[in-house]
Amino acid sequence: MIIGIPRESDPGERRVALVPGVVSRLIKQGFEVVVESGAGAGAHIADAAYVDAGALIGTAAEAHGAQLVARVQPPNAEEIALMQPGAAVIGFLRPLDDPGISAALAARGVTAFAMELVPRITRAQRMDALSAMSAVAGYRAALDAAAMLPKFFPLLTTAAGTLRPAKVLVLGAGVAGLQAIATARRLGAEVSGYDIRPAAAEEVRSLGAKFVELALDTEDAATEGGYAKALDEDRQKRQIELLGEVVSEADVVISTALIPGRPAPLLITEKAVEGMAEGSVVIDLAAPNGGNCALTVPGETVVRHGVTIHGPLNIAADMPVHASQMYARTVSAAIEELVADGAVNLDMENEIVAGCCATHDGVVIHPRIAPLLDSPSSSPAAAG
């Protein structure tokens, strides 16, 4: 089977789907690999490194024309047109946020595997691209906050006196939140973390941070799998009110509550931002879905009421070297799961295959995506 690695066309995307070390391993397993010239440039990988790994360097048409196309971001309409009917594509395909992409791939006759939909089960941990990229995002968010804050993060004792550490509040104790907490702690900040799941308290405290406990009933705020679930309207309003008091005391707030396919939950109101000291910083990792902060402008950095609010859309791409290495490992693990005897193995009895397969044989087959296509805004044209 030939695997194609195209150059990413999404503006600002610097990652590449497979790195030379992973390519070398796949070739030893019997795969052939064609890499579009310059595909690794954003991650500081030269074409020569892929050649040394055993890959061929080709054009965009040759990479997209492979039997299996490995990507980071979803293909646009022109790239979908380069794919061969009966071929397969694997990558972040935004199936719940933009189901029109899945519809366009189905119309082309391409079998699509969405890395976002890999089930979070023990057997699929090594394919969990979302968690891998969330770790990158949390780390980078803390660094960006430290760079934007007009204060030191750590406690410093100098000849000019003692400087108190910055107070950092992290909203959400998932993978991104915990990495943000750990990084801010390493930078010397005084860190607090909040999550509606009571079980998250132990994880936050294990990193040396304080767990924020609100006067709110959250006993049923987690799913059976341990993930946070939406609160009812009354408790959501109460949570926002209580968080406002905590937010106002922070120098930095990093928010991480992002739900694929749904608007991000509001956690930080304009009133809460007004209560923050001038020069404070909000890093909103939920910006791709609208943001957790009422004043977030997705894709921009704005100043409101003297507070800098940063709404990155693709923060993992700012760390392209290690992000590409991590992502490539998850993609290669998925490929090894999905391909058998040189062909895509659509064993729908396999929980991983059934969980991440979005389209096949001209049809959007995933039960979470198909219902979304009833919306006019989700037509195949949306892929362009």
Looking at the predicted structure, is the pLDDT value of residue 381 above 90?
A: no
Tens of pLDDT, residue by residue over 2-34, are: 999 999 999 999 999 999 999 999 999 999 999
Domain 136-318 belongs in CATH node 3.40.50.720: yes
Which one is catalytic: 9, 37, 84, 120? 120
Which one is catalytic: 217, 220, 227, 379? 227
pLDDT value at position 200?
Answer: 92
Tell me the three-class secondary structure of the chain, residue by residue. Answer: CEEEECCCCCCCCCCCCCCHHHHHHHHHCCCEEEEECCCCHHHCCCHHHHHHCCCEEECHHHHHCCCEEECCCCCCHHHHHHCCCCCEEEECCCCCCCHHHHHHHHHHCCEEEEHHHCCCCHHHHHHCHHHHHHHHHHHHHHHHHHHHCCCCCCCEEECCEEECCCEEEEECCCHHHHHHHHHHHHCCCEEEEECCCCCHHHHHHHCCCEECCCCCCCCCCECCCCCECCCCHHHHHHHHHHHHHHHCCCCEEEECCCCCCCCCCCCECHHHHHCCCCCCEEEECCHHHCCCECCCCCCCEEEECCEEEECCCCHHHHCHHHHHHHHHHHHHHHHHHHEECCEECCCCCCHHHHHHEEEECCEECCCCCHHHHHCHHHCHHHHC
Which one is catalytic: 98, 128, 144, 195? 128
Tens of pLDDT, residue by residue over 132-158, are: 999 999 999 999 999 999 999 999 998
Looking at the predicted structure, is the pLDDT value of residue 233 above 70?
A: yes
Tens of pLDDT, residue by residue over 341-351, are: 889 989 999 99
Active-site residue flag, 236: no
Which one is catalytic: 37, 84, 131, 236? 131
Tens of pLDDT, residue by residue over 55-101, are: 999 999 999 999 999 999 999 999 999 999 999 999 999 999 999 99
Active-site residue flag, 131: yes
Determine the topology of domain 2-109+320-383 in CATH: Rossmann fold (3.40.50)
Residues of the chain with CATH 3.40.50.720: 2-109+320-383, 136-318
Which one is catalytic: 125, 206, 375, 377? 125
pTM for this predicted structure: 0.92
pLDDT value at position 198?
Answer: 84
pLDDT value at position 260?
Answer: 74
pLDDT category at 276 given cuts 50, 70, 90 is very high
